[in-house]
Amino acid sequence: MSRRDETPSPLHVTVNDVAAAAGVSRATATRALKGEGRIADETRERILAAARRLGYVPNAMAAGLAAGRSGTVGLMLRDASNPAYGLLFSLLQDAADRHGLGLVTVTVGVGADRDGAQQIDALHRLLGMRVAGLLVATGGIGTGQLEPFAAQVPILRVGRAAAAGRIHAVGYDEPAHGRLLAAHVRGLGHRRVVVLAARAELSSTEGVRATAMREALEAAGADVTMIATGARPSDGVGAALEVVRDGATAILCASDPRQLAVMRAAREAGLDVPGDVSVTGCDGLLPGADLLGLTTLRIPVEAVASAAVAAMRDLLSPGAAPGPVRRAFAGDLVPGSTAAAPRRG
């Protein structure tokens, strides 16, 4: 059997295989596959037909390596099973397509990655692919941990507005979100309130929201019980309901899954929402949230994804401005039906 008659595995088809199958040189095959150079139509069609028959797929990453660095951007994403991160991923991918950027993504569940070691390893893998920049959409690693990478490529945090040094950021205005929810609950007349959130070291986002809620409520004269707990939505719920039994009339949760956990436990305990206790969340992205009537805050995922990819495109452009990118977007309050004026105290 001649070399031309052999059919390599599609996983290992190279330009050399295509050239041999078409009976041309490697240089001619390369020009035809790239659509470059002056090649006879019959020769070009023979090369393209051979590529289709063999299942040849251009190796964009290898082409980028040959040029010094790929045109692909790496994305570190927190667990995409979370609706907020799942939607963010889809929107980032759509925005990257619109701006002509390739996107290669790695995800690491932060629950078992307390010190961010797995995520740092994943960032090393992305840089090993010679990505042109990094989008970091997780609160599981700190800005200080990202700084050493910033000397190699532009790094932009997505979803977190707070950054420092050479790390860029396009995120949500979480302090504003906390204040909006606090003002809504205080405006309904609640004077004794529980704020329930994960500890800041487990979720920086929940920590920032919770701190803003507490500060705004206390500034408005409310008595606040702060419960900083574990990362699971059900963590701390029992303690929060104990404070309700002792007289609190509202529980402000730093996420919608946590809000649902409180509502479920309240029902099991025979407490009416919002009659006995008002409950709020934050994210506004849970499927069916509108049908459940959740009182929450809808984070502006679309605006953040679009602005983050546009900022990365600009950072990768020749002559990009050296100054850091710092943008924050505030979402909209969703009043819902899970928070109402208190019936007691």
Domain limits of the chain?
3-58, 70-172+301-330, 174-298
CATH superfamily of 3-58: lambda repressor-like DNA-binding domains (1.10.260.40)
70-172+301-330 topology per CATH = Rossmann fold (3.40.50)
pLDDT digits (tens, 9 = 90+) for 143-182: 777 888 888 889 999 988 766 778 899 999 999 999 999 9
Based on C-alpha coordinates, what's the Rg of the chain? 26
pLDDT by residue for the chain (345 residues), tens only, comes to: 344 444 544 446 788 889 999 999 988 988 888 777 788 889 989 998 998 888 776 655 555 444 444 568 989 887 767 778 888 999 999 999 898 888 888 887 655 555 667 777 777 888 777 888 999 888 667 777 788 888 888 999 998 876 677 889 999 999 999 999 999 999 999 999 999 999 988 888 899 999 999 999 999 999 999 999 998 999 999 999 999 999 999 999 999 999 999 999 999 999 999 999 999 999 999 888 888 899 999 999 999 999 999 999 999 888 766 678 899 999 999 999 999 999 865
pLDDT digits (tens, 9 = 90+) for 21-53: 999 998 898 888 877 778 888 998 999 899 888
The answer to whether 3-58 and 174-298 have equal CATH topology is no
CATH class of 174-298: alpha beta
